[in-house]
Chains A and B, each alone.
Chain A
Amino acid sequence: MLISYNWLKDFADIKITPEELAERLTMAGIEIGSIEKLKDDFIMDAEITPNRPDLLSMEGIAREAACLTESSFRELNAESCEAENSGESIEVKIQVPAKCLRYNATLIRDAKVKISDEKITRRLSTLGLRPVNNIVDITNYFLLASGQPLHAFDYDKIEGSTVVVRWAKKGESIAALDSREYKLDEDILVIADEKKPIAIAGIIGGIDTEIGYETKNVLLECAHFDPVVIRRAARRLGISTDSSYRFERGVCMETIPAVARKAALLIAQSAKGSIKGRRDIFEGRLKERSGKLRIDEISRILGFKISLDKVKRILTALGFEVTAAGERSLTFKIPFFRQDVSREIDIIEEVARVYGYDKMPTTLARISPKQIKKYRSSAGISEFRKYKIKKMARDILSDRGLNEVITYSMISEKSLSKFNYLPDEIVKVQKALSVEQEILRPTLIPGILNVLSWNLNRQVEDLMIFELGDVFLNKGGKFSEGAALAIGLSGSKFANDWRIKSKPFDFFDLKGIVENLFSRLGIKDIVFKRVDSGIFVKGRSAVVTMADKKLAVLGKVESAALDTFDIEDEVYAAEVYLEEVLLCVRLVDKVKPIPKFPAVTRDLAVIVKNDLSSSEIIKMIKKTGKGLIREVALFDVYSGKQIPTGYKSLAYSIKYQSEKTTLTDPEVDKVQTEIQKTLVNNLKAQMR
């Protein structure tokens, strides 16, 4: 809201410069964004928080300014606020009294519509309002001065000379003063005459009853409308006016007759007309409100002591009336315009605000150690542990050379076209901003592929990326959200090693990263099983399980799936089900003693059929090893010359070690022979 420095001086004897005033207002919660000099005036741009409708006027700002600068303040409506019903009768029918608690109408006859005088024109244009004519300008002038919206109708154009406050009827519409046609419905409150709506209540007037130069008789409306009704209507119609902005936040009912009287007088004076009738329909009640403030409560909340005297001065300057002051508390009447104040804490805030946050002490909060035992998730692990493990996973992967990415949680339906999700498993966002953001991602892989695509299309190559974030799914009609982690590789490794040729990433690079992650999180005994699923190439994908719990999937991404993302390069991707993984993590392991007796290493090379997996051979070797095998490591895989087609040669290095004794060569030879025999007999292996 714009503020005129000179206008404020109508109300308060401000003796400080505009800059100083802006600083004081800002530090009291009325943030001044900028000050601009305009001829002999200064225009400040203020941000008024939604709890303070009383500040949406020059009078309100001036009251605050007077309080902050300890200068005197003159109210706009110093005279009585008494309502009056007098003179010519004016027909006002309020059909929805709950939504229009007060309606004040004044009839001014024989008015001469003309251009406003210089002072009013200047003040309006200074604050960004376009002067129209003396009648309209005076309504706007009072809106700015007092915060109370007013509206003037051409009385002769009101059919039946009757004003009705009612809900709009279905199918009704109105041509408004902004030259737009609004279609109304039954949730929108209107001011109507006998036939049709003549204004959208509290928002904008109709063009049919507009004040023009031919207007003679004016009906001045000064009313109160329900904030929620106005807000809904304004949002529905996509319109916001100075009037609706104030009604939405709440205007003060008490001062309506006084503002109406002042405005009518000024109109009569300016237009040389005469006030012929007044009507004030008041369905609400002005409730005197009072409050109590304990001095101990101030120090409990703010952390320092302040004298009751000082508090009294602050409250009085803000328009509160202190009715009783005790030793440790005081009681006061709350002014009508401060609808935001009702509780003790509201008063404490007023005191703190005016006293100045800057002047308050600064202390460090004492944090109770009791909390360490708190904050456990339903699965029993602490929130802190969850956070720590996620942080670890990020550290492990970034240390391993991967870049973390963060993509939007909303993705397009198209990006999931090659994934195997059932339509009702997918979670949709209502009123999505675009087709690119219709779906709450059930998987992180589309996001990973999008990032790879973005970079590859910009010649950024050799990419290793990961993302950690929540995924969303409807499982059997039940919505679920959980953390996941995805990895994507594209391009080559060793790109920065000029000594060796770079090598494209393959399945085993990806598998190694996944194994690394699990082993560093203390997850052992994981099993990689072949799986043919979804977006992965058949034969080049695996599922990682531990005790039948599915922990991850990984593989080479199908080119059909990559096409959706406009990627031509090979991509390897993995997704880790973090919610499951979190439960398997072992952060602490007891150390094992260093072996006391030396190890003996023997190599073993076998030729087996292609479809026999290495893990089966290792399993068999270990089983036959009678507890003497410490480690079996694969060191060569070969097929080609000297190996029959359909077969492969695998070479292992077997490390024998006993915990009880030094093994002799014959002892080791015996076991090794037995292993060879078993492999030949059970796995149809051939020794090399």
Chain B
Amino acid sequence: MLKELKKIQKEALSGLNKAEVLAEIEKIRVEYLGRKGRLTEILKSLRKLPSGQKAQVGKLANDIKNKLMGEIENRLKKIESRPREECVDITLPGIVAAHGNKHPVTRTIDEICDIFVSLGLNVVEGPEAERERYNFEALNIPLEHPSRDAFDTFYIKDDLLLRSHTSPVQIRVMEKEEPPVAVIVPGKVYRPDAVDATHSFMFHQVEGLVIDKNITFSDLKGTLSFFANRMFGDSVKVRFRPHFFPFTEPSADLDISCIICGGKGCRVCSRTGWLEVMGAGMVDPEVFKAVGYNYEKYSGFAFGMGVERIAMLKYGVNDIRLFFENDLRFLRQWR
């Protein structure tokens, strides 16, 4: 019997030590101390024992009972004082607030404008429906000359057209303000082009204009190089190539080393290693004349770039139509 009791004590205590949750402790309590528990049964059967054994077995059984009760108490306290644990499947998805985003074109416009705003330029917008004088004549674009071929235009009525570039806003700004001016002009432009992977009858441009005393071609180079490196990365090489625009002279195209192949030559850069990203130049004296600025006193530069083209190069978009289809599976990729 004593042996039996010792065995009970050993088993009960080791069971308790392993118990980690309340249910296990309760199970042990019921097993040993419950109404039909193993220890309870022994205590109940004490009466039947010979009196010689009764005292000895009775004492040991009661000691074990007390000890067990005490241990149960301790164990309960220990478990309860432990940090709580609630088991969940932590691999279930978190509840993410539905987040939207800005259109990649807007995003690119913001990127461009932010760089120039950081240099002190002001954002100015102008109307999309424009008068001929602002879209052409004041910009020194003659009515009938091959240089106008690049500016085919949608007309709304006589002397009202959809601007074919953002340059008219230059004229609007200069007509209204005396120098110095420094503006950056984002906006939509329209050209009746047949739509394909690289052409759209509506697209976006960002135009810039800086006029003051002593603004030089070197300033144009420096300012636009700063932009190109901010926009496309420090490692990008920049070059300026002479070009022709009716409203600037000298004029330049700005090329960056191809961001696809790193300048080695690929399909995107037509094997040249260079990508044309914007046109620029010193504002033509004819434009100054049109807005009544004094060319002998002031000088300035202007530049313009196609937003979709830049976004296509920067984000590897191969078809301009994607921007205007607005398939959410495309748009949602701009986080």
Contact = CB atoms under 8 A, between A and B. Distances in A.
B99 interface: yes
Contacts of A31: 241, 243, 253
B98 A401 contact: yes
Contacts of A387: 113, 123-125
Contact of B101 (A299, A398, A458): A398
Contact of A401 (B97, B103, B125, B155): B97
A50 B246 CA distance: 10
B177 interface: yes
Interface string A347-389: 0110011000110111111111111101100000001101100
B284 to A, nearest CB: 7
Interface string A407-445: 111100000000000000001111111000100100000
A458 B331 CA distance: 14
A400 B100 contact: yes
Interface string B90-129: 0011011111111101100010010000011111110111
Contact of B125 (A371, A386, A399, A496): A386
A493 B105 CA distance: 27
Contacts of B284: 345
Interface centre among A52, A367, A401, A499 (most CB of B within 10 A): A367
Contacts of B162: 409, 429, 440
A346 B285 CA distance: 10
Contacts of B331: 403-405
Contacts of A368: 180, 182, 212
Interface stretch (A225-233, A315-323, A564-572, A665-673): A225-233
Contact of A371 (B101, B122, B146): B122
A306 to B, nearest CB: 12
Contacts of B102: 394-395, 398, 404
Interface stretch (A78-86, A98-106, A464-472, A531-539): A464-472
B129 A401 contact: no
Contacts of B96: 496
B36 interface: no
B106 A365 contact: no
A345 B249 contact: yes
A300 interface: yes
Given A51-B244, A430-B155, A345 B147 contact: no
Interface stretch (A22-30, A205-213, A271-279): A22-30
B197 interface: no
B233 interface: no
B217 interface: yes
Interface string B218-230: 1111110110000
A395 to B, nearest CB: 8
Contacts of B324: 406-408
B182 A303 contact: no
A3 B235 CA distance: 34
Nearest to B177: A374
A521 interface: no
A395 B125 CA distance: 19
A72 interface: no
Contact of B202 (A348, A362, A410): A410
A34 interface: yes
B182 A26 contact: no
B323 A463 contact: no
B128 A49 contact: no
Nearest to B187: A470
A409 B220 CA distance: 33
B325 interface: yes
Contacts of B181: 371, 374
Given A367-B210, A384-B122, A433-B192, A451 B156 contact: no
A27 B241 contact: yes
Contact of B242 (A28, A404, A428, A432): A28
A684 interface: no
A364 B120 contact: no
Interface residues of A, number: 95
A363 B216 contact: yes
B146 A248 contact: yes
Contacts of B98: 401, 464, 493, 496
Contacts of B282: 301, 345
Given A397-B100, A403-B328, A349 B250 contact: yes
A398 B110 CA distance: 14
B217 A464 contact: no
Contacts of A454: 325-327
A455 interface: yes
B312 interface: no
A480 B128 CA distance: 11
B277 interface: no
Interface in B245-295: 249-253, 270-272, 282, 284-285
A231 B127 CA distance: 31
B144 interface: yes
Nearest to B216: A303
Chain B contact residues: helix, strand, loop or mixed? mixed
A599 to B, nearest CB: 30
Interface in B283-335: 284-285, 299, 301, 323-329, 331-332
Nearest to B286: A343
Contacts of A343: 285
A431 B103 contact: no
Contacts of A429: 154-156, 162
B319 to A, nearest CB: 15
Contacts of A353: 242, 250
A357 B100 contact: no
A406 B160 CA distance: 23
A33 interface: yes
Contacts of B323: 406
Interface in A24-71: 26-29, 31, 33-34, 49-52
Contact of A357 (B106, B192, B195, B241): B241
Nearest to A497: B95
A469 B204 CA distance: 12
A460 B325 CA distance: 13
Contact of A440 (B129, B183, B225): B129
A262 interface: no
Contacts of A497: 95
A358 B239 contact: yes
Contact of B222 (A364, A372, A409): A364
Contacts of B47: none
A403 B299 contact: no
Nearest to B96: A496
Contacts of A363: 216, 218-219, 221-222
Interface in A244-278: 248-249
B182 A427 contact: no
Given A231-B146, A363-B218, A370-B180, A406 B129 contact: no
B80 to A, nearest CB: 29
B103 A405 contact: yes
Given A29-B243, A387-B125, A409 B95 contact: no
A496 B210 contact: no
Nearest to A245: B146
A301 B217 contact: yes
Interface in B197-223: 201-202, 210, 212, 214-223
A365 B215 contact: yes
Given A361-B218, A401-B98, 7 more contacts: A50-B145, A231-B145, A249-B146, A300-B299, A365-B182, A374-B177, A387-B124
9 contacts: A52-B244, A300-B216, A349-B250, A364-B222, A404-B106, A405-B326, A406-B105, A472-B129, A496-B93
Which 5 pairs, one residue from A and one from B, show the smallest C-beta to C-beta distance?
A303-B216, A29-B242, A303-B218, A367-B120, A49-B244
Interface of B: 92-93, 95-103, 105-106, 110, 113, 119-125, 127-129, 144-147, 149, 154-157, 160, 162, 173, 176-177, 180-183, 188, 190, 192, 194-195, 201-202, 210, 212, 214-223, 225-226, 239-244, 249-253, 270-272, 282, 284-285, 299, 301, 323-329, 331-332
